[in-house]
Structure 1
């Protein structure tokens, strides 16, 4: 016997949107997954916080922007975790395990970070 599992791990491009808008998108995505097969086990990975960028790049944030970004991500994650708990979906808190596995840009995974997520 096997269990079909879908792990949702999303990027951070839309975190500046309202948390409830993001949650609605998660609900829609989960609904579409379950429309394919109701027995699929859904596991959601939290939105990871961004780290400060150590180089200039188009997605580098100021200290204030970074704090606001990570606060928004945290608020969304709290709602997302409650949604998962309420509906029996798995929820992965990757913050502790994955911190320090981002490149100097503070957004993209290092080679080691990519290997962990595969």
Structure 2
């Protein structure tokens, strides 16, 4: 039984790496003004599916999303196309992020936000 679990874990790890390399390709959405993009990103950051990532990204959005520049919004959009656990582990320094992600200024802000929050108990911020 434990051998099967180890094999499944290894397969998931391989699948994650394969999907991550694809995840950085941004979908073309046509012309989107920054306000519309912020609203979409806020929704995507709050509705990830994994609580840890939801809390990390929603508190980051609450504190930083309004002040991000257009380039950072585009980078954030690309970052959000990755798997939840990858984003969480990269932001909390559990696993190294790909170089493309490490070079994003918005990712550095997310890492700083995660480090500042630490293991504090948080809740999803209210929508405004």
TM-score w.r.t. structure 1 length? Answer: 0.27
More helix by share: 2
TM-score norm. by structure 2 comes to 0.25
